[in-house]
A and B are shown apart, each in its own frame.
Chain A
Amino acid sequence: MCDMLDEGGKESLVVAVCREASDKSPRAFWAFRRLGYLQVRQNKWSEAVQSLQHAIRGYPNCADLWEALGLAYQRLGMFTAAIKSYGRAIELEDSRVFALVESGNILLMLGSFRKGVEQFRLALDISPQSVSAHYGLASGLLGLSKECINLGAFRWGASLLEEASKLAKGSTCLAGNLSCIWKLHGDIQLTYAKCFPWMEEGQSLEIDEEAFKTSILSWKRTCCLAAISASRSYQRALHLAPCQANIYTDIAITSDLICTLKESYERDLNAWQLPEKMSLGGLLLEGDNSEFWVALGCLSGHNALKQHAFIRGLQLDVSLAVAWAYLGKLYRKEGEKQLARQAFDCSRSIDPSLALPWAGMSADTHAREPTQDEPFESCLRAVQILPLAEFQIGLAKLSMLSGHLSSSQVFGAIQQAVQRAPYYPESHNLNGLVCEARFDYGSAAAAYRLARCAISTLAGTVPKSCFRDISINLARSLSRAGNALDAVQECEDLEKEGLLDVEGLQIYAISLWQLGKNKLALSVARNLVIAVSTEERTSGAGAITFFCRLLYYISGQESAITNILKMPKELFQSSKVSFIVSAIHALDRSDQLESVVSSSRQFLASYEDITGMHLLIALTKLIKHGSGQCLNFQSGVDHLRKALHMYPNSNLLRNLLGYLLLSCKEWEDTHIATRCCIIDPSDCSSEEGLKLSCEILAAGAVACYATDNGNQKFSFPTCRDQCLNGPMAIPQLQKWLLREPWNHNARYLLILNFLQKAREERFPRHLCIVLERLLRVALSNQFYSKKDMSYQYQKFQLLLCASEISLQSGDTISSINYAKDASVLLLPNGYLFFAHLLLCRAYAVEHNFVNLQEEYLSCLELKTDYHIGWICLKLMESQYKLETESNILKLSSEEYLKEIRSSRNMWMAVFDLVQGLISLWNRNFLHAEESLAQACSLVGAESCLFLCHGAICMELARQQCSSQFLSLAIKSLTKVQETSLFPLPVVSALLAQAEGSLGFKAKWERNLRLEWFSWPPEMRPAELFFQMHLLARQSKVGSDSSSSSRVESWQSRQRWVLRAIHLNPSCLRYWNVLQKLMD
């Protein structure tokens, strides 16, 4: 029936029928559907929503219903609901062009261009002829590109716009007479003209002026063509829809842009200009549109008219932030600062997301207080809101004053400014300055060259000083980039024109010096000093220090000193100069500069300067109090200790102190060195030549024989001077390596520390593998091919490490190869000794006694002043019965012993220990006892020596059955117990045995118990368990009340024996005892 009525055109009847049906039954979905469609047709949106919702309950899979519901929601302004409904329709039937297009439109309106564009693309795939999809896609791309442009991604924006423009053009073919398409095309072209970036072709250093000119011109032409095309499109649009007032304004804006691009500034003040006229056209149609008034104000050439237009706009809408902002700009131009500031303030408080007032405020505050950060911050805000070249250049200028030149924000801004204002020399110049501040001198020089090209294309309108500044900038960055030849060329050109100022002279001199033209450099530097001393005295410190340094480098210390003495004293009144003079003074043995130095030091004021000077003084003392080739470390250390007392938080002084302590030849203070440095992970700045706290820590840890004090699993160090921070070194070094993975020094120190750790743990396989890999990379570093002594030394150490690791993992051939490589490096004999020593060991392992003898002799020949080397050699000699003529070894080692003073006794004792050990190997116990007794008498508290002595005495006592040796042993061993830092194993057992032999039962018991506790649990030997069994038997015999708490009563005698057998099943004694016990 409905269909029939519908056919008859009786719509209202259909509605009535449906209403009735739906009222009667809520399940009459067909009626709701029909009703819904009709209501949509009649634009009764809210009713339609209800009907459609109801209908959907009956037909949930009907795409038409969903689409209609979407439309209804859209018309009601419920956009998210509309998008969902459309989405459902598309889900049900993916060829719904209408739903796609409309949801795209909504998304565009909501500002999510990306999603909108996706929808339109889908729609176009389905129906490539759809005009609305074309239009939507083009406007979506326009919106997206505007988003990009606001971020500063001009290239991205431009590429999007190109696509959009193509689409819009295409849709004009589909539907020629739609004004809005032409308007869209105009908008796209206008935006394109405003964002098309200038691109530098090729990054070559030599920039051809002609090429630059043509590239600028072609860029301008592209922009201009786009603007013209925009203007044409707007005109078409206007032609089609003449009553659209806003198109007048659009044309006005476009023609203004064309004017600026063509630089046709010759304005006839009487005639109406095109932009003005067109914007008036818009106003004639819609006189009460405040924005048109603002546009007129912006485009007009007459200040009075401008002001009138802005004020008129504000009268219409007092909260129009843009009008306030432009009014402010106008006032500022006219010099009315007060009014300008008020206008900007007004605008900013209305709309803080407007860029112009921020920029205006920044210029304003800059004029008042130029050194503050505030103008920079506000200008940065302006740039972030709107990436306009003018703002960006302003930002770069402000950053130069506030010291933000190297910040990334400024870099990004100026890069974008160059893209949009390539014709303006200042943008290139500032780009150069920013690059220079970021140490990219090559790009800086290229930018300066571009700036000069830009000046020459602008011809005549730029003052000469600007040209000079840019040229000096260029010369400076060239010289910093290491291109001295070109820098000199630039300076010479400047000199010809008489434009060389103080800075220029300095660059000139240093470039000449780099080229090796010393005489010319010196004469230029003299001119510089003259220029400085006649001009201004206060700011000339830089020039003076420069002159002194140049003089020192070119003509040496003596001439520098005489020149300094000749110069007037007033020139030295600054901290900078004081450092230079002090440094030269440090190297001068005759103290000619004493008075100059002391007078100039009065001008040190800041904390950094003073601590720096203390550092220098300490180094001076090192040199001056030293003799010959030796530095006097002690005096340096003394000075630093005093200085550190005054400035306890100076890391600079601490690190140097640590370094000096480590450098002392006698290695007595290495454990202190690590303590005086503060490890601060955030302190990563390393100045050249100074040591980091990390390096001190690592070097200290390597220098101490036993680092892993906390871990008794591997060793029982008897050294009293413990390197407390030692175990920290490896994690610290890894942290350092993570921070600076390219740092070869960190890697080197990590390897050394790892080797130390591996040695302590008796070279376990996994550590050896890690070390091998680390070494392979470190050795392949080309860095070590340098001839410099310190690199060679590091390479030597690495090679020795590699050789040692190969030796320990049983690969003698590569071990020998590494050691051979090490032995041919250009290093002092004292170091090379150790390469040959290692070769001795490797050959010994190979049983190659001919080569062993040879290497042994070359060791003797090379000699070393490191005692440990002699000791090792001595051991080798005795172990492999190497032949020598007479007693060279003993003589030479004693010769070197004479040189040391404070630790002499220690070394003598060690030599005695070695003698004793050798005698021991020869089974000459009496002789060994003698040597060790002597060693013990030399050093009072070295538990290790006493332990050896005690043990040998015990053996002698056993052999000779004499109680005299027993008492000697007891004396020594008791001493060990007293002096060692923690109970050493074996000592108490020996002592117990000795005491037991003399019949002191209580002491025997006590010592055995001590012995139990002096072993780490997992290392206790079988014999110890057996001894505990004896002890348990003893206490059972005694069986007094307090025995239950003792160690031996922890378990039964049988258990003790069983555990001993478990550990060492091969010992028959244990089995025998067990059998007895079982019985």
Chain B
Amino acid sequence: MKLAGLKSIDNAHEESVWAVTWVPATDARPALLLTGSLDETVKLWRPDELVLEGKNTGHCLGVVSVAAHPSGVIAASASLDSFIRVFDVDTNATIATLEAPPSEVWQMQFNPKGTTLAVAGGGSASIKLWDTATWELIDTLSIPRPEGSKPSDKSGSKKFVLSVAWSPDGRRLACGSMDGTISVFDVTRAKFLHHLEGHFMPVRSLVYSPIDPRVLFSASDDSHVNMYDAEGKSLLAAMSGHASWVLSVDVSPDGAAIATGSSDRTVRLWDLSMRAAVQTMSNHTDQVWGVAFRPPGGTGIRAGRLASVSDDKSISLYDYAGR
């Protein structure tokens, strides 16, 4: 497996780029790249030349997270002041504005069926679930407090939830917190199942393997990428190699590789059969906040694509060749 640089856009935004995701292809157009930045804008890019397709403004603080609906028609962006704007990708019409107290919106993800939007609830130590038909809050999955701690205890802030991920079958939700634990929920019963341990610093990004709903990957500030058996509660592998915080992780559509972005300014590609980094891209000049593989689908598109965004204001696109 290999990554090859295709295109890089310097100063794609006026400020640090913090969030990236792919909007799946629709019948009318191919998959697009969606990026969010500290400059309070969200931009849409058409691969492979990364032509600017649209620019959405309206946030009052930096955009921390973007998410795309599996249908590719709508997407959501969230800023530091915790407004989530849900918009139509092609027309940029606002569909809904979801509001939460500041500090209570971080990573977001639509479930595979597209019926629910899960939002990592930051200081509220929970995941918020929004219905995508009515745009109403349907559930709050809270991380239970450890036994014996008082409600006023400061340890509540340690469960600050930063990241969230749906399992490919849509039955499980995992969220990563500041103290390094990952909590797994059963969505249908709205029930907390267990914690996964192995990190001791904030878990910034989570992703389930597309081929196996038990396997979960996590990226943490302790500079490790962990691979868990999320059902069996066990740590399968810890992959080291980054020199600093790992800020983002995504898994390739074939499930054979993961890519990570880190504070050490590199993007790495990891071969899961070897559980080791096989390639390091160091084209960014500042920390890399996001990496995203293009989901499969769209007419006549077979090639794998990986995008990365960084504090250096640039966006890079790579060709990913699996085996």
Write the residues of chain A forming the contact surface with B, with a CB cutoff of 8 angstroms.
114, 148, 151-156, 159, 384, 406-409, 411-412, 415-416, 419, 438-440, 681-682, 731, 734-735, 737-738, 741-742, 747, 766-767, 769-770, 773-774, 776-777, 780, 782-783
A408 & B238 in contact (Cβ 8 Å cutoff)? yes
Which of B2-10, B101-109, B292-300 lies at the interface? B101-109
Q: Could you jot down 29 A-B contacts, CB within 8 Å? A: A114-B212, A151-B229, A152-B234, A152-B237, A153-B232, A153-B236, A384-B275, A406-B200, A406-B222, A407-B240, A408-B224, A409-B240, A411-B198, A411-B238, A412-B235, A415-B234, A440-B197, A681-B287, A681-B311, A731-B62, A735-B38, A741-B106, A741-B123, A742-B103, A742-B123, A770-B60, A770-B61, A773-B102, A777-B123
A681 & B234 in contact (Cβ 8 Å cutoff)? no
CB distance from A775 to the nearest CB of B (A): 9
List A contacts of B157 (CB < 8 A): 742, 783
Q: Is B24 an interface residue (CB 8 A)?
A: no
Which residue of chain B has the shortest Cβ distance to A769 in the bound complex? B60
Residue in A411, A731, A766 whose beta carbon sits within 8 Å of that of B60 in the complex: A766
B287 & A682 in contact (Cβ 8 Å cutoff)? yes
A408 & B226 in contact (Cβ 8 Å cutoff)? yes
Complex Cα–Cα for A89 and B251 (A): 33
List B contacts of A409 (CB < 8 A): 224, 238, 240
Which chain B residues (52-80) contact chain A, with CB distance < 8 Å? Answer: 60-62, 64, 80
Which chain B residues (102-157) contact chain A, with CB distance < 8 Å? Answer: 102-104, 106, 122-123, 152, 154, 157
B235 & A152 in contact (Cβ 8 Å cutoff)? yes
Which residue of chain A has the shortest Cβ distance to B238 in the bound complex? A408
A156 & B232 in contact (Cβ 8 Å cutoff)? yes
CB distance from B310 to the nearest CB of A (A): 11
Residue in B122, B200, B311 whose beta carbon sits within 8 Å of that of A741 in the complex: B122
A742 & B178 in contact (Cβ 8 Å cutoff)? yes
Complex Cα–Cα for A415 and B229 (A): 13
Given contacts A156-B214, A681-B287, 7 further A-B contacts (CB under 8 A): A408-B199, A438-B200, A681-B263, A735-B38, A742-B122, A773-B81, A774-B102
B238 & A738 in contact (Cβ 8 Å cutoff)? no
List B contacts of A438 (CB < 8 A): 200
Q: Is B82 an interface residue (CB 8 A)?
A: yes
Complex Cα–Cα for A738 and B240 (A): 23
Q: Is B191 an interface residue (CB 8 A)?
A: no
Q: Is B18 an interface residue (CB 8 A)?
A: yes
B234 & A153 in contact (Cβ 8 Å cutoff)? yes
CB distance from B17 to the nearest CB of A (A): 12
List A contacts of B82 (CB < 8 A): 773
B233 & A155 in contact (Cβ 8 Å cutoff)? yes
Which residue of chain B has the shortest Cβ distance to A152 in the bound complex? B236
B64 & A738 in contact (Cβ 8 Å cutoff)? yes
Q: Is B88 an interface residue (CB 8 A)?
A: no
CB distance from B158 to the nearest CB of A (A): 8
Complex Cα–Cα for A384 and B240 (A): 12
CB distance from B193 to the nearest CB of A (A): 13
Which residue of chain B has the shortest Cβ distance to A774 in the bound complex? B102
CB distance from A386 to the nearest CB of B (A): 13
B237 & A735 in contact (Cβ 8 Å cutoff)? no
Complex Cα–Cα for A415 and B214 (A): 19
- What 1/0 flags go to B87-103 for Cβ under 8 Å of A? 00000000000000111
List A contacts of B62 (CB < 8 A): 731, 734-735, 738
CB distance from B78 to the nearest CB of A (A): 12
Complex Cα–Cα for A438 and B224 (A): 14
Residue in B81, B200, B229, B235 whose beta carbon sits within 8 Å of that of A440 in the complex: B200
CB distance from B216 to the nearest CB of A (A): 12
CB distance from A197 to the nearest CB of B (A): 8
Q: Is B286 an interface residue (CB 8 A)?
A: yes
Which chain B residues (216-274) contact chain A, with CB distance < 8 Å? Answer: 222, 224, 226-227, 229, 231-238, 240, 244, 263
Q: Is B160 an interface residue (CB 8 A)?
A: yes
- What 1/0 flags go to B11-23 for Cβ under 8 Å of A? 0000110100000
Interface centre among A148, A407, A773 (most CB of B within 10 A): A773
A741 & B235 in contact (Cβ 8 Å cutoff)? no
Residue in B211, B231, B235 whose beta carbon sits within 8 Å of that of A408 in the complex: B235
Complex Cα–Cα for A783 and B287 (A): 31
Q: Is B174 an interface residue (CB 8 A)?
A: no
Which residue of chain A has the shortest Cβ distance to B265 in the bound complex? A682
Complex Cα–Cα for A29 and B110 (A): 53
List B contacts of A155 (CB < 8 A): 229, 232-234
The answer to whether residues A148 and B240 also contact, given A681-B311, A734-B61, A742-B160 and a CB cut-off of 8 A, is no
List A contacts of B224 (CB < 8 A): 407-409
List B contacts of A770 (CB < 8 A): 60-61, 81
Complex Cα–Cα for A178 and B238 (A): 43
List B contacts of A747 (CB < 8 A): 102-103
A156 & B222 in contact (Cβ 8 Å cutoff)? no
Complex Cα–Cα for A774 and B236 (A): 40
Complex Cα–Cα for A154 and B101 (A): 42
Q: Is B25 an interface residue (CB 8 A)?
A: no
CB distance from B264 to the nearest CB of A (A): 8
B152 & A782 in contact (Cβ 8 Å cutoff)? yes
Q: Is B162 an interface residue (CB 8 A)?
A: yes
Residue in A148, A159, A407 whose beta carbon sits within 8 Å of that of B238 in the complex: A407
List A contacts of B226 (CB < 8 A): 408, 412
CB distance from A74 to the nearest CB of B (A): 23
List B contacts of A767 (CB < 8 A): 60
CB distance from A430 to the nearest CB of B (A): 16
- What 1/0 flags go to B32-46 for Cβ under 8 Å of A? 000000100000000
Which residue of chain A has the shortest Cβ distance to B243 in the bound complex? A682
A681 & B286 in contact (Cβ 8 Å cutoff)? yes
Complex Cα–Cα for A952 and B265 (A): 59
List A contacts of B16 (CB < 8 A): 731, 735
CB distance from B150 to the nearest CB of A (A): 11
List B contacts of A148 (CB < 8 A): 229
List B contacts of A738 (CB < 8 A): 18, 62, 64, 80
List B contacts of A737 (CB < 8 A): 80
List A contacts of B199 (CB < 8 A): 408
Which residue of chain A has the shortest Cβ distance to B40 in the bound complex? A734
A154 & B200 in contact (Cβ 8 Å cutoff)? no
Complex Cα–Cα for A156 and B64 (A): 36
Which residue of chain B has the shortest Cβ distance to A411 in the bound complex? B198
List A contacts of B197 (CB < 8 A): 411, 415, 440
Which chain B residues (162-207) contact chain A, with CB distance < 8 Å? Answer: 162, 178, 197-200
Which residue of chain B has the shortest Cβ distance to A156 in the bound complex? B232
CB distance from B268 to the nearest CB of A (A): 16
Which residue of chain A has the shortest Cβ distance to B162 in the bound complex? A741
Complex Cα–Cα for A407 and B106 (A): 27
B38 & A439 in contact (Cβ 8 Å cutoff)? no
Complex Cα–Cα for A773 and B18 (A): 22
A156 & B80 in contact (Cβ 8 Å cutoff)? no
Complex Cα–Cα for A154 and B235 (A): 10
B103 & A777 in contact (Cβ 8 Å cutoff)? yes
B236 & A151 in contact (Cβ 8 Å cutoff)? yes
Which residue of chain A has the shortest Cβ distance to B178 in the bound complex? A742
Which residue of chain A has the shortest Cβ distance to B289 in the bound complex? A738
CB distance from A113 to the nearest CB of B (A): 12
A777 & B212 in contact (Cβ 8 Å cutoff)? no
A408 & B198 in contact (Cβ 8 Å cutoff)? yes
5 closest residue pairs by CB, A with B: A408-B238, A155-B232, A412-B235, A438-B200, A156-B232
B236 & A773 in contact (Cβ 8 Å cutoff)? no
A156 & B212 in contact (Cβ 8 Å cutoff)? no
Complex Cα–Cα for A159 and B229 (A): 13
Which residue of chain A has the shortest Cβ distance to B147 in the bound complex? A203
CB distance from B228 to the nearest CB of A (A): 9
The answer to whether residues A412 and B102 also contact, given A153-B229, A734-B80 and a CB cut-off of 8 A, is no
A412 & B80 in contact (Cβ 8 Å cutoff)? no
Complex Cα–Cα for A731 and B14 (A): 11
List B contacts of A416 (CB < 8 A): 234-235
CB distance from B212 to the nearest CB of A (A): 7
Interface centre among A159, A735, A738 (most CB of B within 10 A): A738
A741 & B244 in contact (Cβ 8 Å cutoff)? no
